[in-house]
Amino acid sequence: MRILRTDEARFQGLPDYPFQANYVDVAPGLRMHYVDEGPRSASPVLMLHGEPSWSYLYRHMIPLVAAAGHRVLAPDLIGFGKSDKPAHLSDYSYDRHTAWLTHWLKTLDLRDVTLVCQNWGSLLGLRLATEHADRFSRIIVGNGMLPTGETRLPAIFTLWKAFASHSPWFPIGRIVQLGTERTLSKDELAAYEAPFPSSEYKAGARAFPHLIPVSPDDPNSRANRDVWKALEKWRKPFITCFSSGDALTRGSDRHMQRRIPGAHGQPHVTLRGGHFLQEDSPEHFARIIIDALKSEMAA
């Protein structure tokens, strides 16, 4: 496996991203970066990004949740952000991503975790939380899903998968902008591009669409069906926080609310924004997390 590492200089001076870098080796020679803010003694809030973003996506939410007295951790998935980037598409698989995250979780020995996940953060996070349920106390999903290949995915996903496969042009910043209602600044667009100095660094971003199960025979489909079986017994708090303008995940919130016992009676909410609600409604999203933790601590 050939591993690429983005020069730290590319991350200097990013707007609204003053966080100290932290690293864990999740495999020999493979380093995962994470943000770790707030009191170390507090129960952790784990914020998982998706495709093709990185922990920069949560930059406006991290300080708010940390200021409320919580420890906030936001890792960069392998292939993204300040984390190392295997150079070939074949280096990435659903199971490998899960294993890398699991190694990170166990190395830090995180417990009583509140999972906050969006996009691929939900595909990985929901598997992580159900496989290590003793470490997780609650789940908050924003614009996420857990497909099993048994129902047809939206047409927009087919277009996205084809683009990721065949387009010689793969502009990370513009892709994020397409999923965001507010206009990102020039510096913000550059920040999303920062982890990727050239096209060879983008294998992880191009790989993700191919790892989503699209038929019941897909090995990832079988694994996700097992996750759903666990979620159908999940009685800890499960909150959906979706946005009004996301064609990719629309309806997944209601599906989760019906199937997951822990979702019954929770304060589910629909916020204004596109796919990346962390960009469009960061204060409201952070408030959902803070209020959920406050109400549960008071109970």
**What SS3 class is residue 284?**
helix
Closest CA to 53 of 103, 121, 104: 121
Angle, to 10 degrees, between the axis of helix 94-108 and the axis of helix 219-231? 50
Render pLDDT for 234-293 as a digit per residue (tens, 0 to 9).
999 999 999 999 988 999 999 999 999 999 999 999 999 999 999 999 999 999 999 999
β-pairing, 71-75 vs 44-48, is parallel
DSSP 83: S
Render pLDDT for 191-249 as a digit per residue (tens, 0 to 9).
999 999 999 999 999 999 999 998 999 989 999 999 999 999 999 999 999 999 998 89
pLDDT score for 296: 62
167: Cβ contacts below 8 Å, ≥ 6 apart: none
pLDDT score for 93: 97
Q: CA 261, CA 151: separation in Å to the nearest integer?
A: 22
pLDDT score for 201: 97
**What SS3 class is residue 190?**
helix
Q: Which residue has the higher pLDDT, 208 or 154?
A: 208
DSSP 265: T
- CB 234, CB 261: distance < 8 Å: yes
- CB 102, CB 128: distance < 8 Å: yes
Share of the chain above pLDDT 90, in %: 89
Is residue 298 over pLDDT 60? no
pLDDT score for 169: 87
Token reading at 264: 């019954």
Render pLDDT for 31-82 as a digit per residue (tens, 0 to 9).
999 999 999 999 999 999 999 999 999 999 999 999 999 999 999 999 999 9
- The count of other CB atoms within 10 Å of the CB of residue 274 is 22
In this structure, what are the phi and psi dihedrals at residue 143, rounded to the nearest 5 degrees? 45, 60
Give the confidence band of 297 by pLDDT, cuts at 50, 70, 90.
Answer: low
Q: What is the mean pLDDT of the chain?
A: 95
Closest CA to 285 of 146, 144, 145: 144
CA R_g for the chain: 18
pLDDT score for 162: 86
β-pairing, 30-37 vs 71-75, is antiparallel
Closest CA to 101 of 169, 22, 11, 26: 26
Q: Which residue has the higher pLDDT, 115 or 165?
A: 115
Render pLDDT for 75-104 as a digit per residue (tens, 0 to 9).
999 999 999 999 999 999 999 999 999 999
15: Cβ contacts below 8 Å, ≥ 6 apart: 185, 187, 188, 191
pLDDT score for 11: 98
Is residue 117 over pLDDT 80? yes
For the residues 177-204, what does the mean pLDDT come to?
Answer: 97
